[in-house]
């Protein structure tokens, strides 16, 4: 099992003037500790499940670019970019630029968007859910076109790109058949989201909830219908380490927590834990990551 770290909040000691210092230390420490990935949310406002909308929230790709300059090995991505946030042509260019500058360490994390308050607050259109999923599928088609250097026009229902030129091309690659940065699609909707994962994605991102094994079963069924190998999809899950499972407090509980996810079929756990700006946080998580590195995911 691979272990990543997510940064869900920038409310750290010292206020805005110290955010950069904290983020640089977190990114470089996670990189040096051997963690597999580093993630940030892509939101305009802080999500209410993590704090108040008024709490500090950085632009996701600015934060990742900053992190890329302080790291050399760790993978970087958002959990997740809402399809409504940026025009797909600009998003393709943005992801490719980050991938080139990080030497192929970028995931494209994307989803249908859900946080209406931040959209209305900044005047960003927030279409109905059905349209957001239409836009998500069309955006995935456009991004894959840009990744493949196909410059033929895209004339879709929601977007028109006369020449989706993308130079320089990305340097990251999933494998020989998909020579581009991995596309991670976040969400657990069984009818639409998991079908999009099977059709377009290289990774899913699910929540650590009791129905997670069933979600993976549904994903397998979508893959079978579409003729896509289920094994080609990286199974990731976002999991929260409360204080009782925090590796600083109880490493055995943290190992058990992650082993349970592997037993459900998860290959890559993205961990949220409190106090990640503290010097001991990432070191403790890295020790737990070593403990579970050889724990294989169980197929269902």
Please state, in angstroms and rounded to a whole number, the distance separating the CA atoms of residues 223 and 6: 28
User: What's the pLDDT tens digit per position in 25-76?
Assistant: 999 999 999 999 999 999 999 999 999 999 999 999 999 999 999 999 999 9
**Res. 178: pLDDT tops 70:** yes
The domain tally of the chain equals: 1
pTM: 0.97
The average pLDDT across 183-198 equals: 98
Domain-located, residue 173: yes
User: What's the pLDDT tens digit per position in 65-122?
Assistant: 999 999 999 999 999 999 999 999 999 999 999 999 999 999 999 999 999 999 999 9
**Res. 168: pLDDT tops 80:** yes
Q: Residues with Cβ < 8 Å from 264, sequence gap 6 or more?
A: 212, 213, 216, 298, 300
Q: What are the Cα distances from residue 142, in Å, to 84, 137, 171, 235?
A: 14, 9, 18, 24
Domain-located, residue 168: yes
Q: What percentage of the chain exceeds 90 in pLDDT?
A: 93
Domain-located, residue 24: no
Domain-located, residue 23: no
Query: CA 190, 205, 203, 111: dihedral to nearest 10 degrees?
Result: 70
Domain-located, residue 232: no
- Mean pLDDT (the chain) is 96
Q: What is the pLDDT of residue 251?
A: 94
Confidence category of residue 242, pLDDT binned at 50, 70, 90: confident
Q: What is the pLDDT of residue 272?
A: 95
Q: What is the pLDDT of residue 245?
A: 82
Q: What percentage of the chain exceeds 70 in pLDDT?
A: 100
Hey, is 218 helix, strand or coil?
Answer: helix
**Res. 246: pLDDT tops 70:** yes
Domain-located, residue 197: no
Q: Residues 259, 252: contact at Cβ < 8 Å? A: no
Q: What is the pLDDT of residue 244?
A: 79
The single residue listed with the structure tokens 């040096």 is 32
Confidence category of residue 300, pLDDT binned at 50, 70, 90: low
**Res. 165: pLDDT tops 70:** yes
The single residue listed with the structure tokens 């993590």 is 50
DSSP character at residue 175: B
Q: What is the 3-state secondary structure (H, E, C) of 112-174?
A: CCCCHHHHHHHCCCCCCHHHHHHHHHHHHHHHHHHHCCCCCCEECCCCEECCCCCCCCCCCCC
Domain-located, residue 74: no
User: How would you label 207-225 residue by residue, b for 16+ Cβ within 10 Å and e otherwise?
Assistant: ebeeebeebbebbbebbee
Q: How many residues does the chain have?
A: 300
Range of the domain at 104: 81-186
């Amino acid at each position: 099992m691979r272990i990543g770290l997510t940064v869900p909040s920038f409310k750290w000691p010292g206020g805005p003037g110290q955010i950069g210092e904290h983020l640089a230390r977190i990114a470089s420490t996670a990189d040096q500790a051997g963690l597999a990935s580093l993630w940030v949310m892509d939101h305009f406002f802080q999500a209410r499940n993590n704090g108040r909308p008024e709490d500090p929230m950085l632009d996701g790709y600015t934060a990742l670019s900053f992190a890329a300059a302080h790291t050399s090995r760790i993978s970087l991505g958002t959990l997740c970019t809402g399809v409504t946030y940026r025009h797909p042509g600009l998003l393709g260019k943005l992801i490719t630029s980050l991938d080139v500058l990080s030497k192929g360490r970028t995931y494209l994390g994307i989803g249908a968007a859900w946080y209406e308050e931040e959209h209305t607050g900044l005047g960003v259109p927030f279409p109905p859910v059905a349209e957001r999923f239409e836009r998500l599928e069309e955006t995935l088609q456009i991004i894959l076109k840009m990744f493949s250097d196909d410059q033929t026009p895209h004339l879709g229902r929601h977007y028109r790109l006369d020449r989706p030129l993308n130079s320089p091309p990305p340097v990251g690659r999933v494998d020989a058949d998909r020579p581009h940065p991995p596309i991670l699609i976040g969400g657990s909707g069984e009818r639409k989201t998991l079908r999009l994962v099977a059709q377009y994605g290289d990774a899913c991102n699910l929540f650590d909830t009791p129905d997670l094994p069933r979600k993976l079963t549904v994903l397998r069924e979508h893959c079978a219908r579409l003729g896509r190998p289920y094994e080609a999809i990286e199974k990731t899950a976002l999991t929260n380490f409360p204080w009782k499972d925090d590796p600083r407090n109880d490493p055995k509980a943290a190992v058990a927590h992650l082993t349970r996810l592997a037993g459900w079929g998860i290959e890559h756990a993205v961990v949220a834990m409190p106090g990640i700006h503290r010097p001991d946080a990432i070191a403790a998580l890295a020790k737990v990551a070593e403990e579970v590195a050889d724990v294989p995911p169980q197929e269902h």
